[in-house]
């Protein structure tokens, strides 16, 4: 990965940062040598970003060349917005009040150097500002009217305007930032594109464990991606990347969906794409979709307040009630009596105008077929938790208890199970899905389609091993290449 720092006049550049090229803005814009190659990061430190200035064109042409500029033109436009200060103040109000509480003056200037400040007590605020407004050097002016701090304005800092006493710190901050982003120097393939993997370090039940995430990272690097792990606070940085892989538990009313929407709008290759999250995240939609396309499912009834009485005649007892956005065995209840049915149905209908009721099909295990681009990728059996009717047992106040599992080669699974899963996933899209099915004698039915299937080390990769991760990352790379060539459908 080639790293350029673009400034107005390199002769005035005082910062010595290893591993980067310092380039004049006019040379970057006019020298054909800089138009070649896509694996380029451009840190735009020009004096001005005003419309049609050299600094503006550096970021604009960098994007046109397939380079990755910081800041992007969208950030430059944001910096000119009259509403930016109010937006940032509202977004960061609590953090601003805590950070600036000790200051006694009526105004305060905060220098943000690659998300840091010379005073460590402001680092948290600086990082949040950098994530929302990703530009290398910013000066944020705060004022203190009516007893609360607020942002008055945000301006970029030109490299030539860095105070002499700050130079050493800026070098340190820039170096730390670059090392953080490019610390994995062992890559076997020179990275051509960049991938963000969205994770939640605080999720007790993430879709991929730490070991699996490292397998994904290694596989991505092997095919030519530079990889960085992002968290919920990093949405403002998505435009720096070519691809987004969501390894965080997805939901529509959730930041993961907003990440997917933002990434898709910015032209990234995204798995899980927002449409898949939207479709898979609602059991009512899935039930209607599968029925319309004659995909076998358990006997199903859409339930609303006026037809609760039809559940027993249609499905008998016991049966299963599902809230539309249920996942990971949560929001799914088995009811065995009329009294329990009435209680649970009305509780669920208090949260959603429609819920799903299905016949109860007791089985020893559930099938899971992983599908990628309409191809079966892996097969796994998830056995029921001991003494329970689901694969995960959740008792209030106790740790969740899971049943055992068994990975199989695709060819070892019943053909009808695999074919039904592929058909069901194809109704959603061409992304990565985990289709859950039950098999009762010769009857195979789809239980649900997951847009964010669990892939954990030693479980789903039990047969394919590293090849599973390479298949997924190879698909990402192929899609990015197609998109860069303008041939993606």
Residue 323: its pLDDT value, please?
83
Q: Which helix (H) or strand (E) holds 316?
A: none
Contact 151, 89 (CB under 8 A): yes
Model confidence band, residue 184 (pLDDT cutoffs 50, 70, 90)? very low
Six token digits for residue 387: 């003494």
Report how far residue 131's alpha carbon sits from residue 340's, in angstroms, rounded to the nearest whole number.
48
Domain coordinates in residue numbering, the chain: 2-77, 82-167, 184-273+471-485, 363-450
Token pair listed for 131: 């994530």
- Locate 378 and state its tokens: 């892996």
Cα–Cα dist 325/286, whole Å: 11
pLDDT band at 38 (very low <50, low <70, confident <90, very high): low
Q: Could you tell me which CATH number the domain at 184-273+471-485 has?
A: 3.40.50.20
User: pLDDT by residue (tens digit) across 402-431?
Assistant: 889 999 999 999 999 999 999 999 999 999
Predicted local distance difference test score (pLDDT) of residue 132: 85
Alpha-carbon gap, residue 171 to 156, rounded angstroms: 17
Phi-psi region of 114 (alpha: psi -120 to 50; beta: other; left: phi over 0): left
Checking if the pLDDT of 25 tops 70, the result is yes
State the pairing for strand pair 193-198/243-246: parallel
Q: What's the pLDDT score for residue 239?
A: 83
The pLDDT score that the predictor gives to residue 397 is 59
Angstrom distance (rounded) from CA 389 to CA 245: 32
Report the distance separating Cα 244 and Cα 274, nearest Å: 12
The Cα 270–Cα 97 span in angstroms is 36
User: Tell me: the pLDDT tens digits for 261-274?
Assistant: 999 988 999 999 99
Task: List Cα–Cα distances, 222 to 1, 186, 226, 471, 481, in angstroms.
Answer: 14, 10, 9, 11, 15
pLDDT above 90 covers what percent of the chain? 52
Q: Residue 285: what pLDDT? A: 86
pLDDT in tens, 443-464: 999 999 999 999 999 999 999 9
C-alpha to C-alpha distance for 246 and 257, rounded to whole angstroms:
10
Q: What is the pTM of this model?
A: 0.65
Residue 185 pLDDT class (50, 70, 90 cuts):
very low
pLDDT at 386: 80
pLDDT tens-digit map of 306-354: 999 999 999 999 999 988 776 555 678 889 999 999 999 999 888 888 8
User: Which secondary structure element, helix H or strand E, spans residue 484, and what is its range?
Assistant: helix 466-485
Whether the pLDDT of residue 169 is over 80: the answer is: yes
For residue 268, the model assigns a pLDDT of 94
Average pLDDT over residues 295-316: 92
What are phi and psi for residue 254, nearest 5 degrees?
Answer: -160, 155
- Are the C-beta atoms of residues 268 and 242 closer than 8 Å to each other? yes
**Mean pLDDT across the chain:** 88
- The band of 380, judged by pLDDT with boundaries at 50, 70 and 90, is very high
d(CA 485, CA 477): 12
| Token representation of residue 436 | 């859950």
* CATH H-level superfamily of 363-450: ATP-grasp fold, B domain (3.30.470.20)
Whether the predicted pLDDT of 152 surpasses 80: yes
The string over 224-235, giving b where at least 16 C-beta atoms fall within 10 Å of a residue's C-beta and e elsewhere, is bbbbbbbebebb
Burial bucket for residue 450 (CB in 10 Å: 0-12, 13-18, 19+): buried
DSSP bridge partners of 44 = 6
The order of strands in the sheet holding 225-230 is: 225-230, 193-198, 243-246, 269-271
pLDDT score recorded for residue 376: 97
Contact indicator for 171, 136 with CB cutoff of 8 Å: no
What does the pLDDT look like over 369-378, one tens digit per residue?
Answer: 999 999 999 9
Give the Cα separation of 129 and 132 in Å (integer): 5
Residue 61 to residue 73: CA distance in whole angstroms: 10
User: Does pLDDT of 81 surpass 50?
Assistant: yes
Dihedral of alpha carbons 233, 237, 241, 244, sign: positive
* Percent with pLDDT over 70 in the chain: 95
pLDDT at 180: 65
Of 183 and 173, the structure prediction assigns the larger pLDDT to 173
| pLDDT at residue 451, as a whole number | 95
Rounded distance between C-alpha atoms, residue 409 and residue 462, angstroms: 9
pLDDT in tens, 214-250: 999 999 999 999 999 999 988 888 888 999 999 999 9
Predicted local confidence at residue 183, as pLDDT = 42
What confidence score (pLDDT) does residue 196 get? 96
């Amino acid at each position: 990965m080639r790293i350029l720092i673009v400034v107005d006049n390199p002769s005035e550049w005082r910062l010595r940062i290893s591993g980067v090229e310092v380039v004049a803005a006019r040379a970057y814009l006019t020298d054909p040598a800089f138009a070649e190659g896509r694996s380029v990061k451009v840190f735009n430190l020009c004096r001005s970003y005003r419309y049609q200035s050299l600094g503006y064109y550096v970021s604009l042409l960098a994007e046109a060349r397939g380079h990755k500029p910081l800041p992007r033109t969208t950030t430059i436009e944001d910096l000119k917005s009259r509403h930016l200060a109010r937006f940032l103040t509202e977004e960061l109000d609590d953090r601003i009040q805590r950070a600036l509480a000790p200051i006694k003056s009526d105004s305060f200037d905060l220098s943000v150097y690659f998300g840091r400040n010379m005073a460590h007590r402001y680092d948290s605020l600086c990082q949040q500002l950098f994530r929302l407004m990703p530009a290398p050097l910013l000066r944020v002016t705060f004022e203190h009217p009516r007893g609360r701090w607020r942002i008055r304005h945000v301006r970029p800092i030109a490299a030539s305007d860095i105070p002499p006493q700050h130079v050493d710190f800026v070098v340190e901050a820039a170096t730390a930032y670059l090392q953080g982003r490019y610390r994995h120097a062992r890559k076997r393939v020179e990275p051509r594109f960049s991938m963000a993997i969205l994770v939640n370090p605080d999720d007790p039940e993430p879709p991929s464990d730490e070991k699996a995430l490292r397998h994904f990272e290694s596989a991505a690097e092997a095919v030519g991606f530079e990889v960085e792990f992002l968290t919920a606070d990093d949405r403002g940085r998505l435009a720096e990347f070519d691809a987004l892989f969501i390894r965080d538990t997805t939901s529509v009313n959730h930041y993961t969906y907003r990440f997917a929407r933002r990434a898709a709008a910015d032209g990234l290759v995204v798995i899980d794409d927002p449409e898949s999250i939207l479709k898979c995240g609602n059991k009512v939609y899935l039930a209607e979709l599968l029925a319309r396309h004659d995909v076998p499912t358990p006997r199903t009834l859409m339930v609303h307040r006026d037809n609760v009485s039809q559940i027993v005649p249609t499905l008998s007892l016991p049966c299963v009630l599902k809230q539309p956005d249920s996942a990971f065995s949560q929001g799914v209840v088995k009811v065995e009596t009329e009294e329990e049915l009435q209680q649970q149905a009305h509780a669920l209908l208090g949260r959603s105008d429609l819920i799903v009721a299905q016949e109860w099909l007791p089985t020893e295990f559930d099938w899971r077929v992983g599908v990628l681009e309409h191809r079966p990728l892996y097969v796994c059996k998830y056995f029921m938790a001991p003494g329970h009717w689901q694969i995960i047992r959740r008792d209030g106040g106790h740790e969740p208890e899971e049943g055992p599992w068994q990975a199989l080669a695709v060819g070892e699974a019943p053909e009808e199970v695999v074919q039904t899963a592929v058909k069901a996933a194809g109704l959603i899209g061409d992304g990565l899905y985990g289709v859950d099915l039950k098999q009762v004698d010769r009857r195979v039915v789809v239980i649900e389609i997951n847009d964010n299937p669990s892939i954990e080390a030693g479980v789903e990769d039990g047969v394919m091993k590293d090849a599973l991760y390479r298949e997924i990352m190879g698909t990402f790379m192929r899609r990015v290449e197609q998109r860069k060539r303008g041939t993606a459908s």
